[in-house]
Chain A
């Protein structure tokens, strides 16, 4: 490829795959992969006269149709991250990454091509869909193969709990923990605002007006005063009774205070399970979550 052609293709790529949508951090080899794909396609489709194809052939849609292997390689960084996060034996990483790529190339990418329709109303982005399929592929491999013992899903809580050690809580890196806790909260969707409020109440972390407004945008000033009250001198029963009187009004329900307390306890249990799956073992018990919640809100400066 002469320098002029290379400049041209690079500028087209920067338009089709802009940094804002395909950041180098997530797609570090995109230029190399896409230029290679363009050259391959040019030689395949016009071998005799060596005419290079229009670079618009490199749009994701076209690439999926003509050069699906390039699409898989484009997402290699995500595959590597998934494996490094989920598999605790680093000696298996390379094999696992290779196996995932092989399966995606052999089969899954063609299914993606057949089932992904970006023109459907509400269709997710291709990246989101691809990542879901990639994660499924990883678990398919883990469930059926020699890698089985290496995955955190195969360590039931009871077994992992035998290995638990109170000191484990201290070996974690704060930022990793806080970040992962943020992912757990975000996965609860719109309910995370209510969960965050309940956690603050439960652990007597100051609740600010912004916290309440995120969940109850129409909350009146008098109700805001109740919900942001200092509850440190009240027990859980009194606290949840007080806040539930207000919540019932906005949620149009007639729940009892105990139901809210139980609801947040279930969410705390789920959070502990999510956090332990991240570590592949029972690092956390319910009592440790309080420290994490305090640090999380400290880092996130008041609200979620």
Chain B
């Protein structure tokens, strides 16, 4: 039997981490189901993503072995008793996939005077509006750059575009990407996954915003736009 190639194993490992097997060839899936060796490589590698606390080993010193053995008997009994008596709190595990977050909008929205007379606006509020347009030092530096040689083409919005109303993001890519929209303080205010587009229906406050396209591992593109 031919084993899976390294790339195929890596694809399956990633699918296992993300709990998303849609893109896996049926032949790879069937092979993993039947081939103990290839499956064991996935088991090994999945174990490397856990916290250090979870992978401490029991050393082979006899006295430790028997001390732990003695301690484990009541623990196992207690755990089984608890299971029968009442369910325990679930084990805190690492999520299979980073949850898609929708954070609360944190852009400061100053109150504009009813008279709409900018001269009468509180100077503090004017400075808060200006704050929303302050460039973010780290994002600004990378805005407009395609930081990886991923095959993507950015269609919209253009870099530094001034926008209003619903905003549509379009790009061309072979893979599903994470899109994150950030305010000028670098807070993620919207996140989603898509292969080529995302429509933001929520109205954003006036300010400078950045958007990023990411794979599971890397930032691919960073763009920026203004809401006037």
Contacts and interface: CB of A to CB of B under 8 A. Distances in A.
A84 B58 contact: no
Nearest to A302: B87
A56 B41 contact: no
B148 to A, nearest CB: 5
Which DSSP category, helix, strand, loop or mixed, fits chain A's interface?
Answer: helix
A171 interface: yes
A170 B69 contact: yes
Contacts of A86: 44
A25 B55 CA distance: 14
A179 B88 CA distance: 16
A197 B88 CA distance: 20
Interface string A1-30: 000000110011011101011000110000
A292 B207 CA distance: 55
Interface string B185-228: 00000000000000000000000000000111111001000000
A304 B12 CA distance: 18
B44 A56 contact: no
A173 B12 CA distance: 28
A120 B215 CA distance: 13
A273 B98 CA distance: 31
A135 B91 contact: no
Given A124-B11, A126-B218, A298-B79, A85 B98 contact: no
Given A8-B137, A133-B6, A270-B39, A122 B147 contact: no
Contact of B44 (A16, A55, A135): A135
A198 to B, nearest CB: 14
Interface of B: 6-7, 9-17, 19, 21, 23-24, 29, 32-33, 36, 39-52, 54-60, 65-66, 68-70, 72-73, 75-76, 79-80, 82-83, 87-88, 90-91, 93, 96, 98, 137-139, 141-142, 145, 147-151, 174-175, 214-219, 222
Nearest to A120: B174
Given A25-B51, A55-B141, A187 B58 contact: no
A7 B136 CA distance: 13
Nearest to A179: B54
A182 B216 CA distance: 22
A132 B9 contact: yes
B215 to A, nearest CB: 6
B43 to A, nearest CB: 5
Contact of A127 (B96, B150, B174, B217): B217
Given A128-B14, A189-B33, A183 B46 contact: yes
A156 interface: no
B76 A88 contact: no
A167 B137 contact: no
Size class of the A contact interface (CB-based, 8 Å): 35 or more
Contacts of A168: 69
Given A81-B52, A125-B215, A119 B39 contact: no
Interface string A159-193: 00000000110111111101110111011111100
A82 B21 contact: no
A280 to B, nearest CB: 9
A178 B72 contact: no
A100 to B, nearest CB: 13
Which DSSP category, helix, strand, loop or mixed, fits chain B's interface?
Answer: helix
A123 interface: yes
Contact of B83 (A131, A188, A295): A295
Interface of A: 7-8, 11-12, 14-16, 18, 20-21, 25-26, 55-56, 59-61, 78, 81-82, 84-86, 88, 90, 115, 118-129, 131-133, 135-136, 167-168, 170-176, 178-180, 182-184, 186-191, 270, 273-274, 277-278, 291, 294-295, 298-301
Contacts of B44: 82, 85-86, 135
Nearest to B46: A183
A56 B142 contact: yes
B138 A14 contact: yes
A277 B10 contact: no
Contacts of A121: 174-175
Contacts of A15: 138-139, 141-142, 219, 222
A259 to B, nearest CB: 15
Contact of A132 (B41, B76, B174): B41
Contact of B65 (A171, A174, A191): A171
B3 to A, nearest CB: 11
In order of increasing CB-CB distance, the 6 nearest A-B pairs are A11-B138, A124-B10, A125-B217, A119-B151, A128-B10, A298-B83
